[in-house]
Amino acid sequence: MTHFIIPFIILILVVVFIHEYGHYYFAKRYGVGVTDFSIGFGKEIFGWNDKSGTRWKICWIPLGGYVKFFGDRNVFSQSDQEELLKKYNDEDKKKLFVLKPLYQRSLIVAGGPLANFVLAIIVFFFIYTFVGKDFTPAMIDEVRKDSPAEIAGLMKNDVILEIDNTKVKSILDVSKLITMSTSEFINFKVSRQDENILLKVKPNIVDTKDNLGNKIKKRMIGITLIPYNNEINHQKLGPTKALYYSINEVYFVSISSLKYLGSIIFGSGDSSQLGGPIRIAKISGQVAEVGLIPFLSMMAYISISLGLINLFPIPLLDGGHLMFYAFEKVLGRPLSQRTQEGFFRIGLFLILSLMFFATFNDLKDLGLF
Protein backbone atom coordinates (compact mmCIF):
# COMPACT_ATOMS: atom_id res chain seq x y z
CA MET A 1 0.00 0.00 0.00
CA THR A 2 2.88 2.41 0.77
CA HIS A 3 4.08 2.24 -2.85
CA PHE A 4 0.70 3.84 -3.75
CA ILE A 5 0.56 6.35 -0.91
CA ILE A 6 4.04 7.93 -1.14
CA PRO A 7 3.89 8.85 -4.88
CA PHE A 8 0.30 10.09 -4.37
CA ILE A 9 1.36 12.37 -1.49
CA ILE A 10 4.34 13.71 -3.51
CA LEU A 11 2.07 14.37 -6.51
CA ILE A 12 -0.64 16.10 -4.44
CA LEU A 13 1.88 18.15 -2.42
CA VAL A 14 3.54 19.52 -5.56
CA VAL A 15 0.31 20.25 -7.46
CA VAL A 16 -1.42 21.85 -4.44
CA PHE A 17 1.68 23.86 -3.47
CA ILE A 18 1.93 25.29 -7.00
CA HIS A 19 -1.80 26.13 -6.98
CA GLU A 20 -1.65 27.93 -3.65
CA TYR A 21 1.61 29.64 -4.60
CA GLY A 22 -0.22 31.16 -7.57
CA HIS A 23 -2.65 32.83 -5.14
CA TYR A 24 0.23 33.79 -2.83
CA TYR A 25 2.35 35.31 -5.63
CA PHE A 26 -0.38 37.71 -6.83
CA ALA A 27 -1.44 38.50 -3.24
CA LYS A 28 2.11 39.58 -2.36
CA ARG A 29 2.47 41.45 -5.65
CA TYR A 30 -0.57 43.60 -4.81
CA GLY A 31 0.37 44.10 -1.15
CA VAL A 32 -2.21 41.78 0.42
CA GLY A 33 -1.19 40.38 3.81
CA VAL A 34 -0.94 36.58 3.94
CA THR A 35 -1.25 35.08 7.42
CA ASP A 36 -1.21 31.35 6.48
CA PHE A 37 0.09 29.22 3.63
CA SER A 38 -1.09 25.68 4.33
CA ILE A 39 -0.55 22.45 2.44
CA GLY A 40 -3.21 20.07 3.73
CA PHE A 41 -6.02 20.56 6.22
CA GLY A 42 -6.51 19.77 9.90
CA LYS A 43 -3.83 19.74 12.58
CA GLU A 44 -0.41 21.16 11.73
CA ILE A 45 2.45 18.63 11.51
CA PHE A 46 5.17 21.30 11.30
CA GLY A 47 5.58 24.87 10.11
CA TRP A 48 7.53 28.11 10.39
CA ASN A 49 6.98 31.88 10.19
CA ASP A 50 8.73 33.97 7.55
CA LYS A 51 9.87 37.61 7.93
CA SER A 52 6.55 39.02 6.71
CA GLY A 53 4.59 37.05 9.33
CA THR A 54 3.20 34.31 7.05
CA ARG A 55 2.87 30.91 8.72
CA TRP A 56 4.01 28.20 6.26
CA LYS A 57 2.73 24.81 7.38
CA ILE A 58 2.08 21.18 6.44
CA CYS A 59 -1.09 19.63 7.90
CA TRP A 60 -2.28 16.05 8.35
CA ILE A 61 -4.94 15.74 5.61
CA PRO A 62 -3.05 16.10 2.29
CA LEU A 63 -6.10 16.61 0.05
CA GLY A 64 -5.76 20.31 -0.66
CA GLY A 65 -4.48 23.51 0.85
CA TYR A 66 -5.26 27.17 1.37
CA VAL A 67 -3.82 30.67 1.55
CA LYS A 68 -5.39 32.81 4.28
CA PHE A 69 -5.40 36.56 3.78
CA PHE A 70 -4.92 39.17 6.50
CA GLY A 71 -8.21 40.18 8.17
CA ASP A 72 -10.37 37.90 6.06
CA ARG A 73 -13.04 35.67 7.48
CA ASN A 74 -14.66 35.44 4.04
CA VAL A 75 -12.70 36.33 0.90
CA PHE A 76 -15.87 36.50 -1.19
CA SER A 77 -17.47 39.25 0.83
CA GLN A 78 -17.17 42.97 0.53
CA SER A 79 -20.52 43.69 2.12
CA ASP A 80 -18.97 44.43 5.53
CA GLN A 81 -16.49 47.05 4.29
CA GLU A 82 -17.68 49.73 6.73
CA GLU A 83 -16.98 47.38 9.64
CA LEU A 84 -13.49 46.74 8.30
CA LEU A 85 -12.77 50.44 7.85
CA LYS A 86 -13.47 51.05 11.56
CA LYS A 87 -11.54 47.98 12.72
CA TYR A 88 -8.14 48.59 11.05
CA ASN A 89 -5.70 51.50 10.92
CA ASP A 90 -4.52 53.00 7.62
CA GLU A 91 -1.40 50.80 7.43
CA ASP A 92 -3.37 47.58 7.98
CA LYS A 93 -6.08 48.61 5.50
CA LYS A 94 -3.48 48.48 2.71
CA LYS A 95 -3.02 44.75 3.43
CA LEU A 96 -6.74 43.84 3.29
CA PHE A 97 -7.80 41.66 0.37
CA VAL A 98 -11.41 42.91 0.25
CA LEU A 99 -10.34 46.56 -0.14
CA LYS A 100 -8.25 45.88 -3.24
CA PRO A 101 -9.54 46.89 -6.71
CA LEU A 102 -11.68 44.32 -8.51
CA TYR A 103 -9.03 43.44 -11.13
CA GLN A 104 -6.43 42.74 -8.41
CA ARG A 105 -8.79 40.49 -6.46
CA SER A 106 -9.66 38.66 -9.69
CA LEU A 107 -5.98 38.08 -10.53
CA ILE A 108 -5.22 36.85 -7.00
CA VAL A 109 -8.08 34.35 -7.26
CA ALA A 110 -7.24 33.28 -10.84
CA GLY A 111 -3.54 32.93 -9.88
CA GLY A 112 -4.05 29.41 -8.48
CA PRO A 113 -5.50 27.78 -11.61
CA LEU A 114 -3.08 29.81 -13.77
CA ALA A 115 -0.12 28.38 -11.79
CA ASN A 116 -1.45 24.83 -12.40
CA PHE A 117 -1.50 25.39 -16.16
CA VAL A 118 2.02 26.88 -16.02
CA LEU A 119 3.28 23.82 -14.06
CA ALA A 120 1.87 21.50 -16.74
CA ILE A 121 3.50 23.57 -19.52
CA ILE A 122 6.88 23.41 -17.68
CA VAL A 123 6.61 19.60 -17.25
CA PHE A 124 5.76 19.02 -20.92
CA PHE A 125 8.49 21.49 -21.95
CA PHE A 126 11.04 19.52 -19.90
CA ILE A 127 9.93 16.20 -21.44
CA TYR A 128 9.88 17.46 -25.04
CA THR A 129 13.28 19.18 -24.65
CA PHE A 130 15.25 16.46 -22.84
CA VAL A 131 13.38 13.23 -23.69
CA GLY A 132 11.69 14.21 -26.94
CA LYS A 133 8.32 13.95 -28.66
CA ASP A 134 7.10 11.33 -31.10
CA PHE A 135 6.19 12.41 -34.65
CA THR A 136 5.81 8.97 -36.24
CA PRO A 137 2.89 8.97 -38.75
CA ALA A 138 0.23 6.31 -38.03
CA MET A 139 -0.54 3.74 -40.72
CA ILE A 140 -3.19 1.01 -40.43
CA ASP A 141 -1.59 -2.46 -40.59
CA GLU A 142 -4.73 -4.54 -39.99
CA VAL A 143 -8.50 -4.00 -39.93
CA ARG A 144 -10.31 -6.72 -37.96
CA LYS A 145 -13.15 -8.49 -39.74
CA ASP A 146 -16.65 -7.14 -38.92
CA SER A 147 -15.11 -4.44 -36.70
CA PRO A 148 -16.46 -0.84 -36.58
CA ALA A 149 -13.41 0.21 -38.66
CA GLU A 150 -14.20 -2.30 -41.43
CA ILE A 151 -17.90 -1.39 -41.45
CA ALA A 152 -16.95 2.32 -41.79
CA GLY A 153 -14.56 1.60 -44.69
CA LEU A 154 -11.09 1.96 -43.12
CA MET A 155 -8.48 -0.14 -44.94
CA LYS A 156 -4.97 -1.55 -44.54
CA ASN A 157 -2.24 1.00 -45.46
CA ASP A 158 -4.51 4.01 -44.78
CA VAL A 159 -2.45 6.79 -43.14
CA ILE A 160 -4.47 8.50 -40.40
CA LEU A 161 -4.30 12.30 -40.79
CA GLU A 162 -7.04 13.56 -38.44
CA ILE A 163 -9.43 12.26 -35.78
CA ASP A 164 -12.40 14.49 -34.89
CA ASN A 165 -10.75 17.44 -36.71
CA THR A 166 -7.58 17.12 -34.59
CA LYS A 167 -4.37 16.47 -36.53
CA VAL A 168 -2.70 13.14 -35.75
CA LYS A 169 0.96 14.11 -35.31
CA SER A 170 2.04 10.75 -33.89
CA ILE A 171 1.04 7.09 -33.85
CA LEU A 172 0.60 7.62 -30.08
CA ASP A 173 -2.16 10.20 -30.73
CA VAL A 174 -4.55 7.68 -32.29
CA SER A 175 -5.41 5.73 -29.14
CA LYS A 176 -5.58 8.96 -27.12
CA LEU A 177 -7.96 10.68 -29.55
CA ILE A 178 -10.24 7.63 -29.85
CA THR A 179 -10.37 7.28 -26.05
CA MET A 180 -11.10 10.98 -25.48
CA SER A 181 -13.83 11.23 -28.13
CA THR A 182 -17.30 11.73 -26.65
CA SER A 183 -19.69 11.62 -29.61
CA GLU A 184 -21.44 8.53 -31.00
CA PHE A 185 -19.35 8.61 -34.19
CA ILE A 186 -15.62 9.34 -34.52
CA ASN A 187 -14.60 11.28 -37.65
CA PHE A 188 -11.49 9.95 -39.42
CA LYS A 189 -9.55 11.67 -42.18
CA VAL A 190 -7.16 9.25 -43.90
CA SER A 191 -4.78 9.38 -46.83
CA ARG A 192 -5.26 6.51 -49.30
CA GLN A 193 -3.20 6.41 -52.51
CA ASP A 194 -2.63 10.19 -52.37
CA GLU A 195 -6.36 10.86 -51.85
CA ASN A 196 -7.84 12.26 -48.61
CA ILE A 197 -10.96 10.38 -47.48
CA LEU A 198 -13.42 11.23 -44.66
CA LEU A 199 -15.05 8.35 -42.76
CA LYS A 200 -17.35 8.05 -39.72
CA VAL A 201 -16.66 5.19 -37.31
CA LYS A 202 -19.07 4.09 -34.56
CA PRO A 203 -16.82 2.58 -31.84
CA ASN A 204 -17.66 -0.39 -29.63
CA ILE A 205 -17.55 0.27 -25.86
CA VAL A 206 -15.58 -2.62 -24.37
CA ASP A 207 -14.83 -3.55 -20.74
CA THR A 208 -11.07 -4.03 -20.66
CA LYS A 209 -7.92 -3.16 -18.69
CA ASP A 210 -5.40 -0.38 -19.27
CA ASN A 211 -1.62 -0.89 -19.47
CA LEU A 212 -1.44 -0.79 -15.67
CA GLY A 213 -4.13 -3.45 -15.20
CA ASN A 214 -6.94 -1.10 -14.09
CA LYS A 215 -10.49 -1.86 -15.25
CA ILE A 216 -11.75 0.65 -17.82
CA LYS A 217 -14.42 1.04 -20.47
CA LYS A 218 -12.60 1.61 -23.75
CA ARG A 219 -13.74 2.75 -27.18
CA MET A 220 -12.48 0.21 -29.71
CA ILE A 221 -12.69 0.36 -33.50
CA GLY A 222 -10.67 -2.76 -34.40
CA ILE A 223 -7.44 -1.59 -36.04
CA THR A 224 -3.75 -2.39 -35.56
CA LEU A 225 -1.21 0.35 -36.33
CA ILE A 226 2.37 0.39 -37.57
CA PRO A 227 4.78 3.30 -38.14
CA TYR A 228 4.53 4.72 -41.66
CA ASN A 229 7.35 3.18 -43.78
CA ASN A 230 8.40 1.37 -40.57
CA GLU A 231 10.36 4.47 -39.51
CA ILE A 232 10.19 5.82 -35.95
CA ASN A 233 10.48 9.62 -35.80
CA HIS A 234 11.27 10.67 -32.22
CA GLN A 235 12.74 14.18 -31.85
CA LYS A 236 14.15 16.30 -29.03
CA LEU A 237 12.66 19.75 -29.58
CA GLY A 238 14.26 23.19 -29.43
CA PRO A 239 12.86 25.74 -26.91
CA THR A 240 10.35 27.41 -29.28
CA LYS A 241 8.87 24.15 -30.60
CA ALA A 242 8.86 22.58 -27.12
CA LEU A 243 6.95 25.58 -25.74
CA TYR A 244 4.46 25.51 -28.65
CA TYR A 245 3.69 21.78 -28.21
CA SER A 246 3.54 22.14 -24.40
CA ILE A 247 0.91 24.91 -24.61
CA ASN A 248 -0.90 22.91 -27.31
CA GLU A 249 -1.04 19.82 -25.07
CA VAL A 250 -2.45 21.82 -22.11
CA TYR A 251 -5.07 23.35 -24.42
CA PHE A 252 -5.99 19.96 -25.92
CA VAL A 253 -6.35 18.25 -22.51
CA SER A 254 -8.43 21.18 -21.16
CA ILE A 255 -10.84 21.18 -24.12
CA SER A 256 -11.12 17.36 -24.12
CA SER A 257 -11.82 17.34 -20.35
CA LEU A 258 -14.56 19.96 -20.75
CA LYS A 259 -16.13 17.95 -23.60
CA TYR A 260 -16.03 14.80 -21.45
CA LEU A 261 -17.67 16.54 -18.47
CA GLY A 262 -20.24 18.09 -20.81
CA SER A 263 -21.07 14.63 -22.19
CA ILE A 264 -21.59 13.33 -18.61
CA ILE A 265 -23.88 16.27 -17.72
CA PHE A 266 -25.97 15.75 -20.87
CA GLY A 267 -26.12 11.99 -20.39
CA SER A 268 -24.07 10.65 -23.30
CA GLY A 269 -20.73 10.24 -21.48
CA ASP A 270 -19.41 7.36 -19.39
CA SER A 271 -19.49 8.58 -15.79
CA SER A 272 -17.92 5.35 -14.48
CA GLN A 273 -14.49 6.69 -15.52
CA LEU A 274 -14.81 9.69 -13.17
CA GLY A 275 -12.40 8.98 -10.31
CA GLY A 276 -11.41 10.55 -7.01
CA PRO A 277 -8.44 10.48 -4.60
CA ILE A 278 -8.39 6.67 -4.24
CA ARG A 279 -8.09 6.13 -8.00
CA ILE A 280 -5.49 8.91 -8.30
CA ALA A 281 -3.49 7.33 -5.45
CA LYS A 282 -3.65 3.89 -7.05
CA ILE A 283 -2.69 5.08 -10.54
CA SER A 284 0.03 7.48 -9.35
CA GLY A 285 1.64 4.59 -7.43
CA GLN A 286 1.51 2.35 -10.49
CA VAL A 287 2.83 5.09 -12.80
CA ALA A 288 5.69 5.89 -10.39
CA GLU A 289 6.80 2.26 -10.67
CA VAL A 290 6.93 2.61 -14.48
CA GLY A 291 9.34 5.57 -14.29
CA LEU A 292 9.93 9.26 -13.67
CA ILE A 293 8.71 10.57 -17.07
CA PRO A 294 5.26 8.85 -16.91
CA PHE A 295 4.93 10.08 -13.29
CA LEU A 296 5.80 13.67 -14.33
CA SER A 297 3.31 13.41 -17.21
CA MET A 298 0.60 12.30 -14.79
CA MET A 299 1.48 15.20 -12.48
CA ALA A 300 0.98 17.58 -15.42
CA TYR A 301 -2.41 16.06 -16.29
CA ILE A 302 -3.58 16.22 -12.64
CA SER A 303 -2.37 19.84 -12.46
CA ILE A 304 -4.43 20.73 -15.56
CA SER A 305 -7.48 19.02 -14.01
CA LEU A 306 -7.07 20.91 -10.74
CA GLY A 307 -6.69 24.23 -12.54
CA LEU A 308 -9.69 23.52 -14.75
CA ILE A 309 -12.02 22.33 -11.98
CA ASN A 310 -11.14 25.34 -9.85
CA LEU A 311 -12.33 27.64 -12.65
CA PHE A 312 -15.85 26.18 -12.60
CA PRO A 313 -18.36 28.85 -11.44
CA ILE A 314 -19.18 26.94 -8.23
CA PRO A 315 -19.02 28.80 -4.90
CA LEU A 316 -16.17 27.51 -2.66
CA LEU A 317 -13.99 27.13 -5.79
CA ASP A 318 -11.89 29.89 -7.39
CA GLY A 319 -14.41 30.07 -10.22
CA GLY A 320 -17.07 30.89 -7.61
CA HIS A 321 -15.03 33.92 -6.50
CA LEU A 322 -14.69 35.04 -10.11
CA MET A 323 -18.43 34.58 -10.69
CA PHE A 324 -19.18 36.87 -7.73
CA TYR A 325 -16.70 39.43 -9.07
CA ALA A 326 -18.45 39.31 -12.46
CA PHE A 327 -21.75 40.10 -10.69
CA GLU A 328 -20.00 42.89 -8.80
CA LYS A 329 -18.68 44.35 -12.06
CA VAL A 330 -22.12 44.24 -13.72
CA LEU A 331 -24.13 45.46 -10.70
CA GLY A 332 -21.56 47.98 -9.50
CA ARG A 333 -21.72 46.49 -5.98
CA PRO A 334 -21.11 43.10 -4.31
CA LEU A 335 -23.97 40.62 -3.88
CA SER A 336 -25.57 40.69 -0.43
CA GLN A 337 -24.22 38.43 2.30
CA ARG A 338 -27.47 36.43 2.29
CA THR A 339 -27.33 35.80 -1.47
CA GLN A 340 -23.70 34.70 -1.23
CA GLU A 341 -24.47 32.31 1.62
CA GLY A 342 -27.26 30.77 -0.49
CA PHE A 343 -24.78 30.21 -3.32
CA PHE A 344 -22.28 28.70 -0.85
CA ARG A 345 -24.81 26.08 0.26
CA ILE A 346 -25.51 25.12 -3.36
CA GLY A 347 -21.75 24.98 -4.05
CA LEU A 348 -21.09 22.82 -0.99
CA PHE A 349 -23.86 20.42 -2.03
CA LEU A 350 -22.46 20.13 -5.59
CA ILE A 351 -18.87 19.54 -4.42
CA LEU A 352 -19.87 16.95 -1.78
CA SER A 353 -22.06 15.17 -4.37
CA LEU A 354 -19.18 15.06 -6.85
CA MET A 355 -16.78 13.78 -4.16
CA PHE A 356 -19.26 11.10 -3.08
CA PHE A 357 -19.83 10.00 -6.69
CA ALA A 358 -16.08 9.89 -7.52
CA THR A 359 -15.29 7.97 -4.29
CA PHE A 360 -18.14 5.52 -5.01
CA ASN A 361 -16.58 4.88 -8.47
CA ASP A 362 -13.18 4.36 -6.81
CA LEU A 363 -14.55 1.81 -4.33
CA LYS A 364 -16.46 0.05 -7.13
CA ASP A 365 -13.19 -0.05 -9.10
CA LEU A 366 -11.52 -1.76 -6.12
CA GLY A 367 -14.34 -4.36 -6.05
CA LEU A 368 -15.86 -3.15 -2.77
CA PHE A 369 -19.32 -2.64 -4.35
Clarify whether residues 125 and 160 are in a common domain.
no
- Give the number of residues written for the chain: 369
Clarify whether residues 105 and 181 are in a common domain.
no
Q: What is the pTM of this model?
A: 0.84
Q: Quick check: helix, strand or coil at residue 52? A: coil
Clarify whether residues 101 and 142 are in a common domain.
no
* pLDDT band for position 21 (cuts 50, 70, 90): very high
Residue 205: which CATH number? 2.30.42.10
Half-sphere exposure of 4 (CA within 13 A, CB side): 9
- Active-site option among 20, 195, 289, 328: 20
Helix/strand/coil percentages in the chain, nearest 5: 55, 20, 25
Q: Quick check: helix, strand or coil at residue 150? A: helix
Domain that holds residue 180: 133-235
Q: What is the pLDDT of residues 193-210, one digit of tens each?
A: 889 999 999 998 887 766
Contact at 8 Å (CB) between 38 and 59? Answer: yes
Known active-site residue 328: no
Residue 208's identity, in one-letter code, is T
Q: What is the pLDDT of residues 340-359, one digit of tens each?
A: 777 777 777 776 676 666 66
Contact at 8 Å (CB) between 159 and 138? Answer: yes
Residue 282 domain-assigned (yes or no):
no
What is the distance between the alpha carbons of residues 192 and 177, in angstroms, rounded to a whole number? 20
- Most confident range, picked from 7-11, 66-70, 180-184, 259-263: 66-70
Clarify whether residues 92 and 164 are in a common domain.
no
Residue 41 domain-assigned (yes or no):
yes
CA angle 293, 297, 301 (to 5 degrees): 170
> In the chain, how many domains are there?
2
Residue 293 domain-assigned (yes or no):
no
Residue 188 domain-assigned (yes or no):
yes
Pairwise pLDDT comparison (178 vs 189), residue with the higher score: 189
Residue 246 domain-assigned (yes or no):
no
What is the distance between the alpha carbons of residues 332 and 315, in angstroms, rounded to a whole number? 20
Q: How far apart are the first and last CA of the chain?
A: 20
R_g of the chain, CA atoms, integer Å? 24
The answer on pLDDT for 76 being more than 50 is no
Half-sphere exposure of 126 (CA within 13 A, CB side): 13
